[in-house]
Structure 1
Amino acid sequence: MKRMFELLLYGMVQHTVRADCPEDCPARCPQQLEVQSDFVKTQFDIKQFWGVYYEIAYHDSTQPRRWPIRASCQRSVKSQHPGDPKNYKDLFSLNVGFGRGVNAVCDLEFNLTDHPGVFLGHWSGHSIFNPNLTDIHNTVVDVGVAANGTYNWTLEFQCKNAEESKGIRFAAVNFYHRKPQIDAEEFQLMMSRLRARGLGWVVDASPGLTFVDQQKCIDHDSYPSLTAKPALCGQGALQEVMV
């Protein structure tokens, strides 16, 4: 029964995958430093970046957003790579299905660069959410700084140019917060910071911005373990059916 569910999930997600920016986007991805706030460029401290964030909203074609597998409860657990100080890990999870649902967990890795908040992300080439999408430029656009110096929230922008002479293969933005739910005023602050960096086109491009339902997993206490193994992300149980 579990394998039947996995294969059904894989087939439905594959059906939702399409080009992310066929229109309403720039001809090419902007340079990463161009979209960062002055604070991130000069004062970003990656040690304050580690920890648990909940996704409040996103524009991201790697996340299923339509019935019957609309994702919910997205969470990002960021930590220093245990074996390589030049990399960090992002244990990204989302919940799919009815009721308590099933958690998909993706173990993503990012290379650090000489520039604060400028990373190169690596996706599994067998990911069920967007096949063959690898080596993505990931940029911390801005952060919300708490009184103790840690970051309450982070705006992250991913972009990859198409192999052809023009066009964008993939563009995404993630609104992450330490709290699973925030008020409208704080969300609008995050949105204004994103638009101030010239990235309003990401959320305005079809299909727009999707807000995340975190209440489902709050009610059921059904978030995965902070050290969960990869599952339903082309990195574990499903990989043999996608090679």
Structure 2
Amino acid sequence: MLFLALLLGIARVGADCPKDCPKTCPSQLEVQSDFVKSSFDLTKFWGVFYELAYHDSTQPRQWPLKAACQRSVKSPHPQDPKNYKDLFSLNIGPGKGVNAVCDLEFNITERPGVFLGHWSGHSFFNPNLTNIANTVVDVGVAANGTYNWTLEFQCKNYEDASKGVRFAAVNFYHRKPVVDQEEFDLMMSRLRARGLGWVVDASPGLTLVDQQKCIDHDSYPSLDSKTSFCGQAPALDILV
């Protein structure tokens, strides 16, 4: 387990935006759909979303540590109405695997779907990304008005603006862990319509998530899990 934690920590490190990214991050309002800018409802954002695909260097993507079963549980912050919580989890290893659980936190701004993310890990291997612009690009509106999917885009420039984009990521989230190709293609077309095709086209491309693994083994963590293997808890958990 200790060896796994070390390897997982190493796998998290790395630039996520190679030379084929733009010179600077686009503005958050620029990449949002008209619906999100005018009508995004935060109360419909709460709950469980499963990640279908991602371009994100903070998630291990190569065998034998390729992440699976990524899940995002979004909820209001219990003490601070200006923030919200995202209990993010992923699974590594054969069989039921091992779950890493991260308690992420985001500032809520005056603009709908425009947030600022924070990472509070203490690991030596942690890239220590802080103050990351997190944007809801578009949502899928169900017949009852709730959101059945969401596209989230994160971006951060280097402190030295001449160095360009330090980090860029996109997450395809859905209420269902498995969807048909037509629905996934719709999400992709919405992302490209907002001028963000470069995120999924940039090396190493888009990684599809295996959710079936945890469906088969019933191995998702509980919805109120404590942080683990994420560098946010005391003692041994500082490794990742």
Does the TM-score normalized on the shorter chain lie above 0.5? yes
Please, which of 163, 168, 187 is the counterpart of residue 171 of structure 1? Answer: 168
Q: Does 1:162 align with 2:158?
A: yes
CA distance in 2, matches of 1:128, 1:150: 40
**TM-score after normalising by structure 1:** 0.94
Q: Does 1:23 align with 2:19?
A: yes
CA distance in 2, matches of 1:205, 1:228: 34
1:148-171, Cα deviation, whole Å (9 max, x unpaired): 111000000000101222311100
Shift of the 150–218 alpha-carbon distance from structure 1 to 2, 3 Å rule, reads same
The aligned residue for residue 198 of structure 2 is 201
The aligned residue for residue 190 of structure 1 is 187
Counterpart residue identity of residue 97, structure 1: G
**Aligned-residue CA RMSD (Å):** 1.5
Deviation at 1:18, TM superposition (A): 1.6
Deviation at 1:239, TM superposition (A): 4.5
Counterpart residue identity of residue 166, structure 2: R
Please, which of 105, 122, 129 is the counterpart of residue 126 of structure 1? Answer: 122
The aligned residue for residue 231 of structure 1 is 228
CA distance in 1, matches of 2:201, 2:2: 33
The aligned residue for residue 213 of structure 2 is 216
CA distance in 2, matches of 1:59, 1:51: 22
**TM-score after normalising by structure 2:** 0.95
Counterpart residue identity of residue 169, structure 1: R
The aligned residue for residue 90 of structure 1 is 86
Counterpart residue identity of residue 159, structure 1: C
Q: Does structure 2 retain, via aligned residues, the 8 Å contact 1:125–1:133?
A: no
Deviation at 1:20, TM superposition (A): 1.3
CA distance in 1, matches of 2:98, 2:72: 16
CA distance in 1, matches of 2:31, 2:102: 26
Moved more, 160-169 or 204-213: 160-169
Q: Secondary structure at the match of 2:24?
A: coil
Q: Does structure 2 retain, via aligned residues, the 8 Å contact 1:72–1:213?
A: yes
Deviation at 1:11, TM superposition (A): 3.4
Which residues in structure 2 correspond to 1:52-71 (within 5 Å)?
52-71=48-67
Q: Does 1:102 align with 2:98?
A: yes
Q: Secondary structure at the match of 2:161?
A: coil
CA distance in 2, matches of 1:24, 1:40: 27
CA distance in 2, matches of 1:123, 1:15: 17
Deviation at 1:207, TM superposition (A): 0.2
